[in-house]
Amino acid sequence: MPLSASVLIDGPSELVFDYAIPDQLKVLPGCRVRIPLRNRPATGTVLRVHEAPEGDFALRYLTDLVDPEPLITPELLKLAEWITSYYGTPLEQVIRSIIPSSIRGEKGSSKTRRAALIDKPPSEEDLTILAKRAKRQHAILSLLTAASKPIPITELGGTSAASSLKSLTEKGWVKLIDLEVRRDPDSGETFVPTQPLTLNPEQDEVLQAVTKSLNSEEPPNPILLHGITGSGKTEVYLQSTQKALDLGKNIIVLVPEIALAPQTVQRFKARFSEMVDEIAVLHSNLSQGERFDEWHRIRSGKARIVIGARSAIFAPLPNLGLIIVDEEHEPAYKQENPPKYHARDLAVVRCRLEKCSVLLGSATPSLESYQNTLAGKYEIIRMNERADGASLPLTRVVDMRIESRKQKGRDAILSDVLRASIDQRLEANQQVILFLNRRGFARSLQCPPCGHVIQCNHCAIPLTYHRADERLVCHICGHQAIVPKLCPECHDPAIRFQGYGTEKAETIIRKVFPSAKVARLDTDTTRRKNALRDTLRDFRAKKINILLGTQMIAKGLDFPNVTLVGVLNADLSLYAPDFRAGERTFQLLTQVAGRAGRGAMAGEVIIQTATPHSPSIQFARHHDFEGFVDQELEMRRQFGYPPFTHLALLLARSSHERRAEFTLQTLHRKLAENLPDGITLGDPIPSPLTKSHSQFRFQLLLRGPNARALSRHLNKILSATPTPEDVIVTADLDAYDLG
């Protein structure tokens, strides 16, 4: 029976066409192929190979293979099929995530430059003649002979050496080739080698568990490492990696945000300094060329350790032995664009498919992972002591309602307590981290007489004032507007700014502490490539006294000279319309508090809040994870929320408000018909963010004990229900963002 291949066509579309396979070609799923598309040649990726369908038409034949080996390993293809089955996502969308666009040939290729090498060595007599008559040619030959490898032409003199090289190639002594050049994300960086530290008993217990897992013949259970901030989780990661390398296995290390990648890469390259070239980096801040080179190094087996953000879970690493998921609780591991996977969950699934080990680490584990330990699905190991013997920082809570009265209604950015504590640290030549999870200068622009707030024309949120650009900016869609002198509604000149962000906080801090060196880290200040890495390096070198930033500085950073952490507004995430708001606030406060007192000096944390009696804040103040989890799990159990159920979010959006609402109401009615047992269907309501990117948004929630039952029911209704062309409907299983 003749075979055909379903091919995903390169490009922004989701086109999949069947092609007949010529007898002389060995085509496997994951292979890159050349195909005829209408009247032009094209390329694509083979999704599946199957028997050619019968019919009155003849399939066109594949032209050729781009690469004889599949780009997707059989294990990754199984993972892709699992994602399709679990999340209900089309396989072609999953393949696009596994093989980046730069690898599919859309925007990337190898970088080469011309180089010269010895082809046929000249005789001693010829060299003697050249030394007298053509000294430039003699010098080039001497360099190439001594190097015994290709040398780029630029290093031989560039254009000035062109005529000499031409003469040498004509004589057959030298050959010119295209030399592939690696685009290294860390080029120019130096790494000081480090040695393994002596583990304390708690760290050693974790290492022994990982070692046992690595040597297991059966697929081992995931290990949840619950270690308080500063307990030495990173050293455990490093020594666990060494154990896997000793067994000839390879490792993936996931970090939740790009902000944590430079420090993690630095630590791994310093520890494994003899194999720096075998460590690859994957994240979205890489250029297309860097990503192309790193991916192919991984696929070819030249890299044994891969470090990256969530997409690195798809690294085509052969002989995988261990996946480390640092800060496993972080919502950043959830992909918000299709396919909407969770990298932590995929790490667990991939390890089961490839029979390797997975280590999930966090000071504040997610309730989903913690509940899995209670159910016996995961093994849990605790590290309750800081590695250096230091105590957890003293945490104080400041009621900002009292501070606001002191400052007569003005924005109280720095309380008296925090200001005095910063002064003490600066006098002692110690460092301070200030955390504020809102960028910009002012939260909004409001007219007190009429109450009008300047909003984005495309989103249902106020515009944020950015003083550096003298613009009002939407943090959702990026829309910008000039700052009006008068209120657009009542034309009153009393219009004024409300609230504050990191830009205003930086201005105030510089005024209050004029002798301090202050740096700010947020999205606005890290647009330049390597800006984040350079700032953190300067902070480590003590060139910066006060580091102010958003959540990119709240976790994973280790600076022994930091003895004070100030949280300028702890309430920002507390009252979000999300059942996880309390959990996220507790995690964020615990993580940022853990940046203090990680060296020999005692640390202090000052939390500024208008709701000092909130359970999330009080449990974080006392570093009481178990206490918080007990009351939070009980609440989730009573209301039927994850981790006791799975949750799916159905979202309809359109530029026509009524059509989006009507579409979701229609889907709600169809979902309610023959609703499987155990599934709870919510009502269609406006999303908390009612409008985004000029589209109105409506949503409903489904909850049930079985994820696949939810997914099957949703996809059955969605595939059978036509929707208007201008209405986009998306389903998100195990949704993390309910906004």
Q: Does residue 73 have a pLDDT over 90?
A: no
CB 261 within 8 A of CB 308: yes
Specify the pLDDT at position 203: 96
285 half-sphere exposure, CB direction, 13 A CA radius: 20
3-class secondary-structure state, position 434: strand
Q: CA 417, CA 684: separation in Å to the nearest integer?
A: 47
Q: CA 662, CA 243: separation in Å to the nearest integer?
A: 57
3-class secondary-structure state, position 645: coil
Which of the four pLDDT bands, split at 50, 70 and 90, describes residue 528?
A: confident
137-151, 557-571, 712-726: segment of lowest average pLDDT: 137-151
Q: CA 348, CA 364: separation in Å to the nearest integer?
A: 19
Average pLDDT along the chain: 90
Pairing of strands 111-118, 174-181: antiparallel
3-class secondary-structure state, position 653: strand
Q: CA 103, CA 156: separation in Å to the nearest integer?
A: 32
Cα dihedral: 100, 104, 108, 114 (round 10): 130
> Of 241, 216, 212, nearest to 355 (Cα)?
216
Residue 151: phi and psi, rounded to 5, are -120, 130
Q: Give residue-wise pLDDT tens across range 672-684.
A: 998 999 999 999 9
The set of residues, in sequence order, having a beta carbon less than 8 Å from that of 427 and lying 6+ positions away, is none
- Locus of tokens 């309390």: 582
CB 104 within 8 A of CB 32: yes
The set of residues, in sequence order, having a beta carbon less than 8 Å from that of 545 and lying 6+ positions away, is 426, 431, 432, 513, 516, 517, 518
Q: In the numeric block, which tokens belong to residue 6?
A: 């379903």
The set of residues, in sequence order, having a beta carbon less than 8 Å from that of 122 and lying 6+ positions away, is 130, 141, 171, 173
Residue 738: phi and psi, rounded to 5, are -100, 15
CB 17 within 8 A of CB 7: yes
Q: CA 518, CA 568: separation in Å to the nearest integer?
A: 16
Q: How confident is the model over 67-92, as a mean pLDDT?
A: 89
Kind and range of the H or E run holding 688: strand 685-692
Q: CA 168, CA 175: separation in Å to the nearest integer?
A: 8
The set of residues, in sequence order, having a beta carbon less than 8 Å from that of 701 and lying 6+ positions away, is 647, 648, 649, 650, 682, 738
Specify the pLDDT at position 704: 96
Q: CA 565, CA 260: separation in Å to the nearest integer?
A: 18
120 half-sphere exposure, CB direction, 13 A CA radius: 8
9-13, 27-31, 130-134: segment of lowest average pLDDT: 9-13
Q: How confident is the model over 371-390, as a mean pLDDT?
A: 92
Q: How confident is the model over 717-739, as a mean pLDDT?
A: 93
3-class secondary-structure state, position 221: coil
Q: Give residue-wise pLDDT tens across range 90-136.
A: 888 898 889 887 777 655 566 667 888 888 888 888 788 888 888 88
> Of 109, 4, 104, 96, nearest to 54 (Cα)?
4
Specify the pLDDT at position 92: 83
Specify the pLDDT at position 355: 94
Specify the pLDDT at position 575: 86
Q: How confident is the model over 87-91, as a mean pLDDT?
A: 88
Specify the pLDDT at position 408: 64
Specify the pLDDT at position 109: 62
CB 23 within 8 A of CB 69: no
Specify the pLDDT at position 341: 96
Q: Does residue 374 have a pLDDT over 90?
A: yes
Q: Per mean pLDDT, which of 32-46, 127-141, 700-714 is the most reliable? A: 700-714
Supply the DSSP symbol for 15: -
Q: Indicate the pTM of the whole model.
A: 0.87
Q: CA 666, CA 663: separation in Å to the nearest integer?
A: 5
Q: CA 119, CA 678: separation in Å to the nearest integer?
A: 74
Share of the chain above pLDDT 70, in %: 96
More confident call, 257 vs 607:
607
Q: Give residue-wise pLDDT tens across range 166-220.
A: 888 888 888 888 777 677 777 667 788 999 999 999 999 999 999 999 998 888 9
Specify the pLDDT at position 617: 96
Specify the pLDDT at position 227: 95
CB 397 within 8 A of CB 669: no
Q: CA 256, CA 309: separation in Å to the nearest integer?
A: 6
> Of 411, 365, 599, 402, nearest to 505 (Cα)?
411
Q: In the numeric block, which tokens belong to residue 177?
A: 């080739």
Specify the pLDDT at position 160: 65
Burial 609-620, CB ≥16 within 10 A → b, else e? bbbbebebbbbb
Q: CA 654, CA 663: separation in Å to the nearest integer?
A: 10
Which of the four pLDDT bands, split at 50, 70 and 90, describes residue 56?
A: low
Q: CA 250, CA 685: separation in Å to the nearest integer?
A: 47
CB 329 within 8 A of CB 366: yes
CB 551 within 8 A of CB 436: no
Measured over the CA atoms of residue 713, residue 719, residue 722 and residue 723, the dihedral's sign is positive
49-58, 310-319, 584-593, 669-678: segment of lowest average pLDDT: 49-58
> Of 311, 346, 367, nearest to 85 (Cα)?
346
* HEC assignment per residue over 120-156: CCCCHHHHHHHHHHCHHHHHHHHHHHHHCCCEEHHHH
Q: CA 586, CA 574: separation in Å to the nearest integer?
A: 9
3 half-sphere exposure, CB direction, 13 A CA radius: 16
CB 522 within 8 A of CB 550: yes
Q: CA 116, CA 497: separation in Å to the nearest integer?
A: 64
Q: CA 27, CA 42: separation in Å to the nearest integer?
A: 17
Q: CA 567, CA 434: separation in Å to the nearest integer?
A: 6
Q: CA 567, CA 587: separation in Å to the nearest integer?
A: 13
Q: CA 420, CA 417: separation in Å to the nearest integer?
A: 5
Cα dihedral: 242, 247, 250, 254 (round 10): -40
Q: Does residue 706 have a pLDDT over 90?
A: yes
Classify 408 in phi/psi space as left (phi over 0), alpha (psi -120 to 50) or beta: left
Q: How confident is the model over 261-289, as a mean pLDDT?
A: 88
CB 715 within 8 A of CB 689: no
CB 192 within 8 A of CB 122: no
Residue-by-residue DSSP string for 78-105? HHHHHHHHHH---HHHHHHHHS-TTTTT
Give rounded-to-5 percent helix, strand, coil for the chain: 35, 25, 40
244-248, 279-283, 646-650: segment of lowest average pLDDT: 279-283
More confident call, 299 vs 52:
299
Note if the bond before 448 is cis, omega within 30 degrees: no
Q: Give residue-wise pLDDT tens across range 456-491.
A: 999 999 999 999 999 999 999 999 999 999 999 999
